[in-house]
Structure 1
C-alpha cells in the first residue's frame, strides 16, 4: 500500500510540475497579440522583421518604454545582438536574418515591457525557395490606357539613403528596357513608371536590389503580380488583402485581420465593406462582441482610394477555427468576396522537453521507493517464517 500511495503522490507532484511549467510559459506577458501580417520571404535573402509600434490601433504599447526582446516560439532563448557568428540577430525593434534559410520559418515573438506591464506580439515568417517566388507575389492593380506605376515593396529597412537606390526590373524573367517610350525608371525611386498601361502588360514583374553588408553583397528580390483593369470597371471593388486563405492564431490571443479593398478613383462613400461569419453578419454570430468589426478606414495611396475594415478578435477561441469568415466588398456596379479561415498556431514543445528530466527523476525516485517497500515486506515475511 505504501508503494501505491507513494506512486500516486509522485504522479501528482509531476503533474503539478508540468502544470506549473505550462502556466509559466503562457503567463509571461499579460497581453499577447498575433500580428495580422504574415511575412513570406525567399531563401538566401536578407529579411527584417519589425516589432509593431503604437501606430497600430489594436496594439496597446503606448505606455511601454522601448525595452524589446525577441525569441522564436517554442524556445525561451532570447535572440541577442550582433556578433561575428550571428546570422540572426536583434537590433531594437527589428530582427535581422542575414541571410534567411528555410529552417527559419516559424513564429517569432517580440516582447515590450517595463516595470509594471508586458505585451508580446507573434509574427509569422515563412521562407520559401526562390522557385516559388510567384506564389508569394504582391498584388498590384493598374487601369488600362492610362499611365501608372508599379512599386517595389518593403525595401526601406535596407535603404536608409534612398538617393543611392538602384533597382533592376524584369517582366516574366525578361529584363525591362528602361527609360524608353514604355517604361521609365527614376534613380532613387522604388517605382517602375508605365506611360500607357495595356491589357497585355498584366503578369509578373520582379525587382532586384543589391544590399552590401560588412563586405558581403546580398540580393533582395520582390515579385509583383500586376493585374490590369478596364476603365469602365474602375469602380468595382477589388480585395487586395488578406492575400492568404488561412491565418494562424494562438488560443486566447488577440488578433486583428484587416480587409483592404481597392476602389480606384471611386468615392469611398459608394462602397460597402463588411465581414461575415458563416455567411451571417458578425454581430449576429458574436452577440457578445468578442469578435467584431473594427473602425472603417478610408485611405488614399498614390492617388488611388482604398477602404480597410478590420476583423478584431479580443480572444481567439477554439470555435473560431471552425468558422468560415468572409470579407464582402460591394457597390451598385459589382462585388467581390474573399473567404478566409483561422487555424490554430502550433504550440511550442519547449516546456515538454524541459520537463523530461523532472519526469524521469520522478519515475526513478518512485521506482527506488517501491523497491525498498517490497524489500522491507519481504524481510518481514522471512523473519516471521523463522519465528
Structure 2
C-alpha cells in the first residue's frame, strides 16, 4: 500500500518536472514584463524622433540656453602666425536687433568655455568688445566659434567658422575683385580696419604674383595712407593674384598682415552687366533646426541699383511660391556702395533649416538690360552647435536606466517564478 502511494505521488511530480523543462525551453511571457519593454521602446523612439521644436520651447524657458542659433554665412580664413579678429555679427532681422538694448556677450569654441576678457598676463586669445582676438593665430585655432548675445528677455547664438592655414597656401583664401578693361580702377586691401592705428601712417607693400609692384611706373600707384592700389589702363594681362602686406605693432611685438586678392578683368561691354560675387562657394554649411541667413551679393559696377533685379530660386521656383508657409523667405534688399562701385545684396533666410533644404537646388539670379547671371548653390548639413541635443542626453540616460531596471525586474520575476514552480 505504501509503495502504491509513493508511485502515485511520483507520477504527478514527473509531469511537473517535464512542464518545468518545457517552460525553461520556451520564453516566458509576462504581461507586466511586456508592458515595461514596450514602454522602454516607445521612450527610446520618442527620444530620437521627437520634434526638435519641443526642445526649443524648453530652451526658451531656460535662462542658460538660447532661443535661436544662427550659422554665419561667412567662413573666415587666416594665415598661421598672423593676427586675426573675429567679429560677432550684429543682425537686425526681425527681433535680432541688439543695438538699442544692453546685452552680455560671451565666446566659446566647439561648446567649450572660453575667456571673455584677458585672464592671463599675456593671453594669446582674448575678447574685446564684440571681437575675439588671436595674436597670433595658430593651426589649432581652426574650428567653430560661438558668440552668444543675451539680454534679460532674449538670447541668440551665432556660429562663426575659422580656418587657419599655412602661408604657402595663401592663394586658396584669396579675395575676389573685379576691374574693367580700358579704364582706371583700384584694388582694395580688405579687412584692415580693425588693425589700422591712428597714431601711425598706413603704409602697404604690394606684390603681383609674388613680385613687388613697381610703384614708380605709370601703371601702378599706391595711394598714401589708403588701402588702395591704383591701376591705370586696365588690361586682361593685369588679371592674377595680388598681395598686400601691412605691418602691425601690438605690445612691443610686430606682426605682418597679408591679404591675397584675385583680380578678374572683364571686357568693357560687360561693364554694366551684373556679376555675382557671393556665395563664392558651391555649398554653405548649416546646422539642422538652426537659423541661416545666406546673402546673394551682386556687383553691378557703375550701373544704377534700380536697373538690376536680384532674386532667389528654389528648384527653379520662386521662394514665396515653394515656401508658402513662410519658413524660408527673401530678406530686405540692401543697396550699397563699396570702393566707389555699386553692389546689391538680397539675403535668403531659413527660419529654421530643415532636412529637406539639404536636397533643394538653390539659385541666385541677377539680371538687367545688359546681361544676366545665375549662380547655383546648396545648403549642406554641418556639425550642429545648437544646444537641443544637451536636453536629449538626460532623457536618453533616464530611459536607459528605467529600461535596465524594468528588464532586471522582469528577469528576476521570471527566475523566481520558475524556482517556485520547480519547488512545488
TM above 0.5, yes or no, is yes
Q: 2:321 matched to which residue of 1?
A: 284
Q: Is 2:128 the counterpart of 1:81? A: no
Residue among 208, 225, 235 paired with 1:188: 225
Give me the whole-angstrom Cα distance separating, in 1, the residues matched to 2:295 and 2:169: 25
Give me the whole-angstrom Cα distance separating, in 1, the residues matched to 2:249 and 2:256: 9
Q: 1:252 matched to which residue of 2?
A: 289
* Residues 30 and 176 of structure 1: CA distance in aligned 2, closer, same or farther (over 3 Å): same
Q: 1:158 matched to which residue of 2?
A: 195
Give me the whole-angstrom Cα distance separating, in 1, the residues matched to 2:274 and 2:199: 33
Aligned length: 384
* Superposition deviation, residue 370 in structure 1: 5.2
Question: 5 Å matches for 1:107-146?
Answer: 107-146=144-183
**Corresponding residue SS for 2:225:** coil
Q: 2:137 matched to which residue of 1?
A: 100
User: Is the CA contact 2:287–2:385 (under 8 Å) kept in the aligned structure 1?
Assistant: no
Worse overlay, 199-208 or 96-105: 96-105
Q: 1:171 matched to which residue of 2?
A: 208
* Residues 347 and 215 of structure 1: CA distance in aligned 2, closer, same or farther (over 3 Å): same
* Superposition deviation, residue 319 in structure 1: 0.8
Q: Is 2:274 the counterpart of 1:240? A: no
* Residues 56 and 189 of structure 1: CA distance in aligned 2, closer, same or farther (over 3 Å): farther
* Superposition deviation, residue 324 in structure 1: 0.9
**Corresponding residue SS for 2:194:** helix
Question: 5 Å matches for 1:19-98?
Answer: 28-53=65-90, 59-62=96-99, 64-75=101-112, 77-82=113-118, 83-84=120-121, 86-98=123-135
* Deviation by residue 1:294-326 (Cα, 9 ceiling, x = unmatched): 222222223222222211222111111111111
Give me the whole-angstrom Cα distance separating, in 2, the residues matched to 1:381 and 1:189: 92
* Residues 58 and 125 of structure 1: CA distance in aligned 2, closer, same or farther (over 3 Å): farther
Question: 5 Å matches for 1:219-230?
Answer: 219-230=256-267
Q: Is 2:357 the counterpart of 1:320? A: yes
* Superposition deviation, residue 289 in structure 1: 2.2
* Residues 359 and 310 of structure 1: CA distance in aligned 2, closer, same or farther (over 3 Å): closer
* Residues 37 and 72 of structure 1: CA distance in aligned 2, closer, same or farther (over 3 Å): same
* Residues 265 and 67 of structure 1: CA distance in aligned 2, closer, same or farther (over 3 Å): same
Give me the whole-angstrom Cα distance separating, in 1, the residues matched to 2:126 and 2:293: 27
Q: TM-score, normalised by structure 1?
A: 0.83
Give me the whole-angstrom Cα distance separating, in 1, the residues matched to 2:214 and 2:93: 39
5+ unaligned residues in a row in structure 1: which ranges? none
When Rg is computed on C-alpha atoms for both structures, the one with the higher figure is 2
Q: Is 2:240 the counterpart of 1:203? A: yes
5+ unaligned residues in a row in structure 2: which ranges? 1-29
Residue among 362, 380, 383 paired with 1:346: 383
* Superposition deviation, residue 194 in structure 1: 1.6
Residue among 325, 329, 335 paired with 1:298: 335
* Residues 324 and 128 of structure 1: CA distance in aligned 2, closer, same or farther (over 3 Å): farther
User: Is the CA contact 2:332–2:346 (under 8 Å) kept in the aligned structure 1?
Assistant: yes
How large is the Cα RMSD of the aligned pairs?
A: 3.9
Worse overlay, 81-90 or 248-257: 81-90
